[in-house]
Amino acid sequence: MTTANGSTTDTGSRRALGWAAALTALSVLAGGIAALALGLPPCLFHSLTGLYCPGCGMTRALRLAFRGNIWASFGMNPLMYLIGIPLCLWLLVWVSRRLGGRPAPTLPAWAAWAALAVLIVFTVLRNIPGPPCCWLAPGPLP
């Protein structure tokens, strides 16, 4: 189908993208509700290696955030706020632009490399024993 300005749109693919975004959002919400109701699964990486991965504490952080305890949530895994929220906002803009028939924004290469560097440094620092690095390790639920 061709629009008034001459660009082509594929209504079927936009509709599929909308459904995929809605199902993803519902899955995240259902996962948060399940974490609140059923308890927390152990981290497989931590169980096998004894080390904290970049995602260790993320479920606890989400659980605390859903309960309104933002400061404790930040303490469980600050990456949820430092990388996760900006990434979710960018994804929301990407989906809305795609559904609106406009070109989707691209993630600059420097942003992807910077995020990877932050993940690596964060993972190394949170596994160094003793303060201040041990403060990056997730703790038990309050």
Digit-coded pLDDT (tens) for 12-51: 666 766 677 667 777 767 766 666 666 667 778 888 999 9
How many angstroms separate the CA atoms of 35 and 29, rounded?
10
C-alpha to C-alpha distance for 111 and 91, rounded to whole angstroms: 14
- Planar angle of CA 123, 68, 33, nearest 5 degrees: 80
- Each residue of 52-71: pLDDT tens digit? 998 888 888 888 888 899 99
Q: What is the mean pLDDT of the chain?
A: 80
Is the predicted pLDDT of residue 102 greater than 80, yes or no?
yes
∠ Cα 41 42 44 (to 5°):
120
Structure confidence at residue 134 (pLDDT): 84
Distance CA 54, CA 140 (A): 16
